[in-house]
Structure 1
Amino acid sequence: MKSQLAIMVCAIAVSLTGCGDKPAATSEPAAVTKSGEAVTITKAKFEAVENGMTYEKVVQVVGGPGELMSEAGKKGDAMHTVVYSYKGEGSAGANAIFTFQGGKLAAKAQAGLQ
């Protein structure tokens, strides 16, 4: 529980301040749909996302990939942690952050979604 809280606080801090290094380019998709439209998230879609989901399931619920914000650890390890963000629909600066650990959603946070 404490580690999930720490991960969520870190993810929110990075998203709000814009500080921190973005990871090197990976094979992860950009935050656009196949048709080239930007992916955004609503509050209803955010609430439909549940802890324990895989990234692939979250992408299905939201309607497209998020932007890879940070990655720590080695892929496949239990402590491999990946953070994705989505621009939100709602107030200016609305966004959502999803933190995955060991391939499963461990924490989520949002600001300003409608």
Structure 2
Amino acid sequence: MTKAQYDKITNGMTYDQVKQIIGSDGSKLSESTYKDAQGNTVNVQIFYWQGNGSSDSNANITFQGNTVASKSSYGLK
């Protein structure tokens, strides 16, 4: 993943929209569920993509309820 691709990803996007920007599937790091204030079950998944910078460059994107809730990156170019 490049920094330019990462910068295009915004909260509320679906996994398919993110995949279209990046051009590949991410690796699922974790998945969990919790109950929100209304008692609804919410699914949370964190995906990892290798970056295009140094060998340890990467991006992690957290999906909550099937949309982007947060993102973080390290060393992307």
Shorter-chain TM-score tier: 0.7 to 0.9
| More RCO (CA 8 Å, sep 6+) | 2
CA distance in 1, matches of 2:55, 2:28: 21
Q: TM-score, normalised by structure 1?
A: 0.60
Report the TM-score when normalising by structure 2: 0.87
Q: Which of the two has greater strand per residue? A: 2
Contact (CA 8 Å) 1:78, 1:101: kept in 2 or not?
Answer: no
Separation in 2 of the partners of 1:80 and 1:52? Answer: 14
Write out the 4+ residue segments of structure 1 that deviate beyond 4 Å after TM superposition. none
Deviation string, structure 1 residues 21-77 (Cα, Å, up to 9, x no partner)? xxxxxxxxxxxxxxxxxxxx0000000111100001000000110001100028xx6
* Equivalent residue, structure 1, for 2:16: 56
Which one has a larger percent helix, Structure 1 or Structure 2? 1
The C-alpha deviation readout for 1:75-113, integer Å capped at 9, x for no partner, is: xx6521000000000123000000000111000000000
Unaligned runs of 5+ in 1: 1-40
The CA RMSD over aligned residues, in Å, is 1.4
Report the count of equivalent residues.
72
Identity of aligned residues (%): 38
Counterpart Cα distance in 2 of 1:56 and 1:90: 24
